[in-house]
A and B are shown apart, each in its own frame.
Chain A
Amino acid sequence: EVQLLESGGGLVQPGGSLRVSCAASGFTFSSYAVNWVRQAPGKGLEWVSAISGSGGSTYYADSVKGRFTISRDNSKNTLYLQMNTLRADDTAVYYCARGRSGQYHYSDMDVWGQGTTVIVSS
C-alpha cells in the first residue's frame, strides 16, 4: 500500500526550531517529487515547499523562504522539513504529499499523509 506518515510535530516557542519528517512506503520514493502543505486552524490549505525526486531542486512559498529547508534521504525513504525562526502563524497541521508523476512534477498531489501538528506558542 502506498503510504506517507508524518512525525515530529509538537509545541515549540516562538523563534525556535523543529524538524518534521515524512516516511514513505509502498512506492519508489526517489522517483517522485514531494511537497509539504499546511493547514492553520480554521484556515485553508497552504502550499509550503516541494523537492524533486533526486533532491537537487527545491521550491518554497514566500512565507517560509529563508526560514524553512526541505530535504530528503532517498536511502531512508524519508522527507524532512527543517523549520527555523518559527512564528505563531506557522501553527498548523503539516501534510506531506506526493507529486502525481515524475521526479519534477509536484503541482498535483495524489498521495497525502495524515499530517503532524506544529504549535508555536510561548
Chain B
Amino acid sequence: QSALTQPASVSGSPGQSITISCTGTSSDVGGYNSVSWYQHHPGKAPKLMIFDVSSRPSGVSDRFSGSKSGNTASLTISGLQAEDEADYYCSSYTTSSTVVFGGGTKLTVL
C-alpha cells in the first residue's frame, strides 16, 4: 500500500487561509468517506483534527475544515495562527482493511 500523496510543505501568513491536499486512489481516499487529518507537533502526540472527511472532534477549532473530491481530500485552515505551525498528516481506510497515511506536510506560519 503506497502512502497517500501530500505536498511536503505549505506556508502562509497569520490570518490567511491555506489548503493541504491528499491524493490517493479509488482503493482508499476515493472509495471511502474515512479520511482523517492529524496535527503533529514534533515530540508530542499527534492530534485528530478531522475525521470522516469533514467532521471535527469536540474541541477542535472551526478554523479547520475538510473536504473530498474523487481521490483527493483537502484540509483547509482559515485565519492562520502561529500555533497552527506543525506537521499535518492525512489518512484513509483502504480496501485491504488497513490504514494508509500521507507523507506529511510541514506548515510554516510566516
Given A108-B91, A114-B45: A44 in contact with B34 (beta carbons within 8 A): no
B27-50 to A contact mask, C-beta < 8 Å, 1/0: 000000010101010001111100
Contact A45 B40 (CB under 8 A): yes
Contact A59 B98 (CB under 8 A): yes
Residue numbers in B under 8 Å from A112 (CB-CB): 45-47
Which of B1, B89, B98, B102 has most A Cβ within 10 Å?
Answer: B98
Contact A50 B89 (CB under 8 A): no
Count, chain B residues at interface, CB 8 A: 27
Residue numbers in A under 8 Å from B38 (CB-CB): 45, 109
B25 to chain A, nearest CB (A): 16
Residue numbers in A under 8 Å from B91 (CB-CB): 45, 47, 107-108
Q: Looking at chain A, what size class is its interface with the partner chain?
A: 20 to 34
B56 to chain A, nearest CB (A): 11
Residue numbers in A under 8 Å from B7 (CB-CB): none
Residue numbers in B under 8 Å from A35 (CB-CB): 99
Contact B48 A47 (CB under 8 A): no
User: Interface on A for B, CB 8 Å cutoff?
Assistant: 35, 37, 44-47, 50, 59-62, 95, 97, 100, 106-110, 112-115
**Listed A/B pairs (30) with beta-carbon separation below 8 Å:** A37-B46, A37-B101, A44-B87, A44-B104, A45-B38, A45-B89, A46-B101, A47-B91, A47-B98, A47-B100, A47-B101, A50-B99, A59-B98, A61-B1, A62-B1, A95-B45, A107-B34, A107-B36, A107-B92, A107-B93, A108-B91, A109-B36, A109-B38, A110-B48, A110-B51, A110-B57, A112-B47, A113-B45, A114-B44, A115-B45
